[in-house]
């Protein structure tokens, strides 16, 4: 059985993961509207990853005897000025998600819930990758000044990304 405090915190995190899915879908839509299908693909893969994260939390909470309580998802930003702005926002967002995951881990430790700590370890590791991915692309966009042939080459590179659900 899971504590009510941890159940509430995981429900909040499920909401945050679903918001991330929604936020990244908005970013994908922006890239579609400016004709950068590789960048769009990158964020469509992010959408699938965030859904996977939410469902991983959903499944865990159910397995621990908790009750999933879905909450309203806030409206994401829909207007962007440039690819660099989008990736800076995504990087900032991933840092926020890392903070939330760390707070969840702190609560699991405080509640002495070993199963939750084990479950959250995967998310801690995942957030290192998520932040690095966004930061790497921010830096590439800065190097190419976010335009020209460099932008088109990066668009082609990002178009190759696929979603592969992680092994358990």
- pLDDT given for residue 50 in this prediction: 97
- pLDDT given for residue 165 in this prediction: 85
Average pLDDT, the chain: 96
As given in the structure block, the two tokens for residue 148 are 């020209």
As given in the structure block, the two tokens for residue 21 are 């899915």
Give the model confidence (pLDDT) of 132-158 as tens digits.
Answer: 999 999 999 999 997 789 999 999 999
Is the model's pLDDT at 168 over the cut of 70? no
Give the model confidence (pLDDT) of 82-114 as tens digits.
Answer: 999 999 999 999 999 999 999 999 999 999 999
Taking the C-alpha atoms of residue 117 and residue 114, their distance in angstroms, rounded to an integer, is: 5
Contact 55, 26 (CB under 8 A): no
The DSSP secondary structure of 61-83, one letter per residue, reads: HHHTT------PPPPPP---S-H
Taking the C-alpha atoms of residue 90 and residue 18, their distance in angstroms, rounded to an integer, is: 15
Long-range contacts of 136-142 (CB under 8 A, 24+ apart): 137/42, 137/87, 138/84, 138/87, 138/88, 138/91, 141/83, 141/84, 141/87, 142/84
Structural domains of the chain sorted by starting position, each given as residue range(s) with its CATH number in brackets: 4-158 (1.20.1260.10)
- pLDDT given for residue 167 in this prediction: 74
Average pLDDT for 52-66: 97
The DSSP secondary structure of 15-28, one letter per residue, reads: HHHHHHHHHHHHHH
Residue partners of 2: CB distance under 8 A and separation at least 6: 10, 61, 64, 65, 66, 113, 116
């Amino acid at each position: 059985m899971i504590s009510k405090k941890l159940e509430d915190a995981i429900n909040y995190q499920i909401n945050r993961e679903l918001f991330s899915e929604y936020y990244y879908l908005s970013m994908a839509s922006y890239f579609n509207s400016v004709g950068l299908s590789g960048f769009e693909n990158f964020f469509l893969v992010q959408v699938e990853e965030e859904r996977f994260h939410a469902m991983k939390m959903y499944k865990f909470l159910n397995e621990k005897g908790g009750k999933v309580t879905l909450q309203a998802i806030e409206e994401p930003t829909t207007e962007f000025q440039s690819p660099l702005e989008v990736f800076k926002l995504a990087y900032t967002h991933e840092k926020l998600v890392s903070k939330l995951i760390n707070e969840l881990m702190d609560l699991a430790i405080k509640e002495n819930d070993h199963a939750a700590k084990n479950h959250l370890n995967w998310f801690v590791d995942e957030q290192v990758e998520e932040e690095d991915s966004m930061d790497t692309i921010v830096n590439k966009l800065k190097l190419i000044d976010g335009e020209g042939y460099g932008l088109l080459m990066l668009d082609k590179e990002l178009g190759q990304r696929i979603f592969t659900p992680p092994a358990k």
